[in-house]
Structure 1
């Protein structure tokens, strides 16, 4: 499945998520609560994925950027699925920026990528504010130095003989 299609499926399936939550045993049973990650863990992963997505795009490593976008999309879906207090509409409003980022990655368009990341970041902060968590604010990284334990520029692929 293409990245763009994956983002669209996530966004369109939000209605199904709402229905599934309404028909399930939410709040989750004790055993389900033990298996579900804490919301802070899901959101911490989303923040890290956002950061890595940014640096992968800035390095024009579109394969890594596509991977990180899928991971971020999954984290947003988990937040909506596991935590009914997170309005599904907050997740579905991310559809357009996610699709725009997917388009930029597919085209290798670093300007569209940067602009779409800013829109996505604004959406994250709007979600936090709507949940009474406006004090949790994220930003597009401004430092030229990415985390020191990952290589972001694409590596040369071994040549086939």
Structure 2
């Protein structure tokens, strides 16, 4: 499946979800399984995937970046499916930033990647603000060391760009 198809999963998921619950409620859908992850767990994974996506792109490990983008897209789709109180517009507006990141990864374009990651990050923060959670703000990493337990440089087995 292509990166664009993975990003489209988010938009399709948004169309399948209803906004039956009040926007201020962040409880899982009544139709969700009893063991649905808590929203904080889904969003914590999304934050980690965002971080790893950034470091993979900065290291020009496009295979790892593509993988992390798929994981991030899946996390956002899960949030939309399990928590229909998240406004559909918040979910669908993430489609373009995700596609922009996917295009940058496919092109192996590190400049476009950096710009598209800023757009994705802005989209995340706009969603948080619209939900009255503007105090949850993320940023594109600015220096420092990546998480110390993962190697982000390409191993030589992946494609070179």
TMscore range, shorter length:
0.7 to 0.9
Distance 2:105 2:46 in 1: 18
Deviations 1:119-158 (A, max 9, x none): 0100100000000000000000002411100000010229
Q: Give the C-alpha shift of residue 85 in structure 1.
A: 1.5
Give 4+ residue runs of structure 1 displaced > 4 Å after superposition.
Answer: none
* Larger Rg belongs to: 1
Normalising by structure 2, report the TM-score: 0.87
Distance 1:9 1:80 in 2: 11
2:24 counterpart residue number: none
Normalising by structure 1, report the TM-score: 0.87
Superposed, which structure 2 residues align to 1:1-161 within 5 Å? Answer: 1-18=1-18, 27-28=29-30, 32=33, 34-157=34-157
Quick check: which one's helix share is greater?
Answer: 1
Distance 2:29 2:55 in 1: 37
Structure 2 regions of 5+ residues with no counterpart? 21-27
Deviations 1:47-95 (A, max 9, x none): 0000000000000000000000000000001111101221121111011
SS in 2 for 1:132: coil
SS in 2 for 1:4: helix
Distance 1:43 1:149 in 2: 21
CA RMSD for the aligned pairs? 1.9
Structure 1 regions of 5+ residues with no counterpart? none
Distance 1:48 1:16 in 2: 26
